[in-house]
Amino acid sequence: MSTQMANPYQGMVSFQQALRAGVLQVYPVLSHSNLYSYVDVPAPGVKRMTYVRLGEDRRTVRAFVSCVMNGYVDGHPCIALGYAVPEGMRNQGLARKIVKDAIKDIIVQIGRAGAKAVYVESVVDVENVSSQRVAEVVLAVERESITDSASGRPAYRYTKRFDTATGR
């Protein structure tokens, strides 16, 4: 068992490297300004949607959200998300904005697939206060104290249900 929780920052760094190397092609999310998406399958049966906000060069990641299906809650799909912002760009509201926009797009995508609701969750290490603040503001739900199953570390889980018809 790893002693560290999965870190979306590391995923962002890898994504940035692949984007600059020309390995990835991102596509604009039409309903959101300067929001791009990339879909891949990192493991058999695991579909991942990555959202990024890019700099003017369209090669520099300014904000990052990674989303994967994480089972079902009350019969509705549950999407787990992790988010990161480069160190020099933090404390500007970039994480909150991209997480909000990613959730809006997830709601639309899940609704088009026929689901009436979707749950969005974020699991955050108890020591990651900045990410806790983002989850508290964007999801605006009571957090649940848990032990992260992969690392064994204490964490908080924020889970919110969204109706696909209303987006709320």
Q: Summarize the confidence of residues 50-71 as an average pLDDT.
A: 95
Please give the pLDDT value at position 38: 97
Percent of the chain with pLDDT over 90: 89
Percent of the chain with pLDDT over 70: 98
**Whole-number Å distance between alpha carbons of 164 and 166:** 6
Element (H, E) at 28: strand 27-28
Tell me the domains of the chain and their CATH numbers.
Answer: 8-163 (3.40.630.30)
With cut-offs at 50, 70 and 90, classify the pLDDT of residue 111.
Answer: very high
Q: Please, are residues 113 and 73 in contact by the beta-carbon 8 Å criterion? A: no
Please give the pLDDT value at position 33: 86
Q: Evaluate if residue 94 carries a pLDDT over 90.
A: yes
**Whole-number Å distance between alpha carbons of 15 and 24:** 8
Q: What backbone torsions phi and psi does residue 103 show, to the nearest 5 degrees?
A: -60, -45
**Whole-number Å distance between alpha carbons of 152 and 163:** 32
Helix axes 129-139, 94-112, angle to 10 degrees: 50
Please give the pLDDT value at position 4: 77
- CA angle 27/31/36 to nearest 5° reads 25
